[in-house]
A and B are shown apart, each in its own frame.
Chain A
Amino acid sequence: MVLVFTEINKNRIKKSSLECVQYAAKIAALTGGNVTALVNQASAEHLEELGKAGANTILNMNISDLGSDHILSCAAVEHAVKHSSAKVIVFAFDIAGKAIAPRLSARLKAGLVAGATELPAVNGAAFEVKKNVFSGKANAIYSIHSEMKIIALLPNSFPVVLSENKALVQEFQPDLSAVKSRITIKETKTNATGGMAPLPEADLVVSAGRGMKGPENWGMIEELATSLGATTACSRPVADLHWRPHHEHVGQTGVAIRPNLYIAVGISGAIQHLAGVNGSKTIVVINNDKEAPFFKSADYGIIGDAFTIVPKLTEAIKKFKAHQN
């Protein structure tokens, strides 16, 4: 049995959660058994989507303050593990997964692979799971020896193909009376991202660096992003200089992303920047210095002045899109 922890954000099942359900379904196919998805306060539409992603059973909870302290979510997952007799538990390696999966791992003495990028290979009683190490410069195969196993799946590393599958839905009321939330929320702040997909989930990203000279020049970056339906990002100095908000900073110290397309404008390609973006499927680099290290890590490169190239590229994309419709 495989249990998947899933989340709803902005009234949608998170993309990373759907990836996890699909991943769990593939594990269940390898090991035998079914997939149970755990979710809180899901609507009929959410339940349908989880079914389509491959859940056989859905445990739908109705707990209003579940997200306030990970201690509660962790306890809920523990109840669901018992209820479903799960031996494998899948999380997304995202903000919630990074907090809950390790706690659960310690409580159940279940070996955890944090940031898996591929399906496990079953080797006797052990699972062998690939994950990124050295900030994307290498991979390692981890072997999980314990009977219970936890895998936290790196977002955007597993494709989702929805089917017509329908899940059996059960109302699930774990008894959390013995666990007390010890965290009090004082204030919640929302990043102003407009209509853009959140960076960790974005398929398309347009990112710019110090080569843009100043925050007043970001209009053309935003226009390029809009023409593609992409999310904007930036290099670290750009966030440190307050040209752009901190949540846009990608790289080793910022957000690590792996979109299908990463367009880097006026970014030199320092190793610490690459650490957060080298998992992107396709990288396009625009830089006026032909020696910029980023060209060594790019699939497509344009050597030239961003100030003339970016608006022209936006036009080319608009033309392409208009043609497609």
Chain B
Amino acid sequence: MKILVAISNVPDTTTKIQFSDNNTKFNAAGVTFIINPYDEWYALVRALELKEANLAEKVTLIHVGLPDGDATIRKGLALGADDAVRIDSEGPDSFYVAEQIAAYAKEKGYELILTGKETINYNGSSVAGMIAGILDLPLISLATKLDVAGVKITAEHDIDGGSRVVECDLPAVVSCAKGMAEQRIPNMRGIMAARTKPLEVVKPIDSAPLTSIKSFDLNPGRTSCKLLGEDQLDELVKLLHTEAKVI
């Protein structure tokens, strides 16, 4: 069984977000990029654990993006993925990205496709469901646990007000959330090995995006905080009622 892990290249969580070109583009100047945390901590680490337990033969990374994502892909290889493929396109929208990943997975016969629960830049939670829709595969959405037994997977995932343990046959798509695995730190040997692991660059298949981003604006955030003393709690309650109108 081969696992394909979809990784996205995103600004570090502490990045100060800025836009350029009249607020139509994300300004990447000086920004540190990382593997999207859900893709790394949960999807990739769980895939590696399954391989280490001899439940999977191979773990391949797939990234739809331009060459500036290669450093991020190498980090994934340093953590232990066997090889990687980059579909050479900007990836204009979720549907386009999903089409690329679906086509590659199908052609190469990957039985388990793992994604993160969402990217921390565009917060779409969409790619996994779209891949499942394109390939007509079962989807386990927002999984917090994942196990493999032969051609079957067992997973736990969130539902309204609780969670559910489910089972399905491979091939399948799983989007991964907190709980699935623990973060790992790459070691020196991994980092050295990553330099020579295969990173194939592939041309995208024909696909037309369905959406585009017209413009961005920053959330102004809160400008001033009204400070009250420990003895002004009645006053706070009054403000919440009359000024904020939330109670």
Contacts and interface: CB of A to CB of B under 8 A. Distances in A.
A282 B132 contact: no
Contacts of B233: 302, 309, 312-313, 315-316
B29 interface: no
A302 B236 contact: yes
Interface stretch (B80-88, B106-114, B117-125, B188-196): B117-125
A115 B179 CA distance: 23
A8 to B, nearest CB: 10
Given A9-B160, A185-B164, A296-B225, A103 B210 contact: no
Given A111-B211, A302-B230, A10 B161 contact: yes
Contacts, number: 271
A137 B133 contact: no
A102 B239 contact: no
B169 A182 contact: yes
Interface in A257-274: 260-261, 271-272
A189 B120 contact: no
Interface stretch (B1-9, B50-58, B139-147): B139-147
A137 B219 contact: yes
Interface residues of B, number: 78
A187 B216 CA distance: 43
Given A110-B210, A298-B225, A186 B160 contact: no
B65 interface: no
Contacts of A74: 133
A103 B240 contact: no
B151 interface: no
A112 B160 contact: no
A105 B210 contact: yes
Given A141-B213, A191-B161, A134 B120 contact: yes
B13 interface: yes
A226 interface: no
Interface stretch (A45-53, A56-64, A142-150, A168-176): A142-150
Interface string B154-166: 1000111111111
A104 interface: yes
A228 B218 CA distance: 32
A95 B212 contact: no
A316 B123 contact: no
Contacts of B218: 137-139
A211 interface: no
Interface string A186-198: 1111110100001
A57 to B, nearest CB: 25
Given A134-B120, A309-B233, 14 more contacts: A7-B160, A10-B161, A94-B160, A95-B159, A105-B95, A106-B133, A110-B210, A141-B216, A185-B165, A188-B164, A189-B164, A271-B13, A283-B222, A284-B240
22 contacts: A7-B160, A70-B141, A102-B130, A106-B131, A106-B132, A106-B134, A113-B211, A115-B123, A131-B123, A132-B123, A134-B121, A139-B216, A146-B211, A186-B166, A252-B37, A271-B13, A283-B222, A285-B225, A295-B225, A300-B227, A302-B227, A320-B247
Interface of A: 7, 9-10, 14, 69-71, 74, 93-96, 98-107, 109-115, 128, 131-146, 182-191, 193, 198, 203-204, 228, 246-247, 249, 252-254, 260-261, 271-272, 275, 278, 281-285, 295-304, 308-309, 312-313, 315-317, 319-320
